[in-house]
Amino acid sequence: MKVLLQKNISKLGSIGQVVDVKPGYARNYLLPQGLAVQPTEANMRAIEAAKQQYLEELAKIRSELEAKAKLADGREVTIPARANEEGHLYGSIGPAQLIASLAEENVFVDPEHVVLEQPIRQVGTHEVALQFAEGILATVTVSVIQLGGQEGPVGGEGEAGSQPAVEEGEPSDEAQSDGDSGPAL
């Protein structure tokens, strides 16, 4: 069955193309979802107008992405992270941390644009690619530095707050454990 595509469908075709599909696929999916119509003369003219509008929108979006790539390309961001003496991070730096660091410099990037095969797990300088669209690339230099200073114990309260205060006049547990039943005379 021949249908006229109203939207781009991966592995099938692009807007305005007449493609041959199985009747069940057209009847049960493409036509009810509004992805395709019957290839009549009136539908062909309407799709051509929609295709022109789509191409104009696509060109506008592409120019915006090129401007973003130009703004981001060559940027250097510094991300502090906790690491051990060898420089291995206790966690990792992923796209979310990179996006937050770029946002601090007024460069706004979507997570799907960050091309990071593995999260960064080492202190040092790393090159990270940003792919905004096919053919629109940028490179960002990420410097991961070790946070300064050691953190205290993880237990919350320190030594001073762990023992309850004993008021004057009350016998303490330590005094009674010596075997004395009362104050010495």
Q: In this structure, are 78 and 139 located in the same domain?
A: yes
Largest Cα span, the chain = 117
Lowest mean pLDDT segment, chosen from 47-51, 56-60, 119-123, 181-185: 181-185
Strands 2-5 and 18-20: antiparallel
Tokens read off for 15: 């807007």
> How far, in whole angstroms, is CA 132 from its chain's centroid?
14
Q: How many domains does the chain have?
A: 2
Q: In this structure, are 49 and 109 located in the same domain?
A: no
Tell me the CATH number at 25: 3.40.5.10
What is the span of the domain harbouring residue 10? 2-60
The pTM of this model reads 0.58
Burial of 102 (0-12, 13-18, 19+ CB in 10 A): buried
Position 135 in a domain:
yes
Q: In this structure, are 86 and 23 located in the same domain?
A: no
**Euclidean distance between CA atoms 115 and 90, whole angstroms:** 22
Tell me the CATH number at 110: 3.10.430.100
Mean pLDDT, to the nearest integer, of 63-82? 92
Position 82 in a domain:
yes
| pLDDT, tens digit, 9 for 90 and up, residues 144-174 | 999 865 443 343 444 444 444 444 555 554 4
| pLDDT, tens digit, 9 for 90 and up, residues 80-124 | 999 999 999 999 999 999 999 999 988 899 999 999 989 999 999
